[in-house]
Amino acid sequence: MKKLFLLITMITLISCSQNKNNEEQIKHDGDKSIQQQESEKHNFDSADLKFEVLENKTLVAGKLGNFQLPQFSADGKRLFFTNINYGEIWMWDFTNETLEKIVSLPQCGINFQISENGNTLYFRNKVTKGKKSFSIMSYTIDTKSVDVIYTSERRISTPILLNSSIYILEDDKPININLADNLTSEKFPQPFLFASNDKLIKVSNKIDTLSIPNNEKAISVKYSKDGENIFVLTSSIGVLVYDKMANPIENIFVLTSSIGVLVYDKMANPI
């Protein structure tokens, strides 16, 4: 684990130009459907991608410790990350260029979730003193307030934030927590993926454990805003991308860097 985070401020994506003569291409395309032509026009190989680091900037001094799992807020104005034992969440504010430790609770840094406006974090807390218990909590940056959303004496998974709801597994029981009123139910989009006990769990009408190449551990699961894509961070092989039906997506390119994960679709558009 490196002691310093390097901020990549700009990444240039250069795709290779076509080598075929235009006239030959037009003649060749005449025998193909429009769908085939469009697919080939936008298709590219990951070897065609080139990245250039224009500026490096140290955000955290090494004397503060080792850090990992950086996440940007949706507007890119804040960067959140956790320490090496997941017991802290830190925030770098790009507007004010300030660094602040905002949460210090056991396991708060594992798979913490960020609200769309970047002002609220959701995380799991594990109490180990006395009778063991788990809770899902929130931290609001503007008010610096910590609230308990859900608590249980049974093991609960780290939270998944989607459509103003928090989804968790309580032992093997799926729980949906509506953030508007904190009411719980067992209503879920199906299937639904969780990272729990280093395993990738699929919840539908039953609960299954999905295999990961090389028996890698599932560290965290995040859903895209529209719920169409699911990103699974693994222990060492990067990020696996699934569609909303929990099927692996082969035409998604996932690139790791010191700022986290950059995800592009097959048309080279960032996701």
CA 253 to chain centre: 14
Q: Which of 95, 104, 142 is nearest to 123 (CA)?
A: 104
In angstroms, the CA 23 to CA 9 distance is 40
DSSP lists the bridge partners of residue 209 as 201
Kindly list the domain boundaries of the chain, sorted by start residue.
22-264
Topology of the domain comprising 22-264: Neuraminidase (2.120.10)
**Tokens (6 digits) for 24:** 């030959």
In angstroms, the CA 263 to CA 4 distance is 23
Per-residue pLDDT of the chain (271 residues; tens, 9 = 90+): 443 333 333 333 333 334 444 444 434 444 444 444 444 444 445 455 566 666 676 766 666 778 888 889 988 899 999 998 999 999 999 899 899 999 999 999 999 999 999 999 999 998 877 777 899 999 999 999 999 999 999 989 999 999 889 999 998 888 999 999 889 988 888 889 988 888 899 988 888 998 888 888 888 888 988 888 888 888 877 788 898 898 888 645 454 443 344 444 444 444 4
Whole-prediction pTM value? 0.70
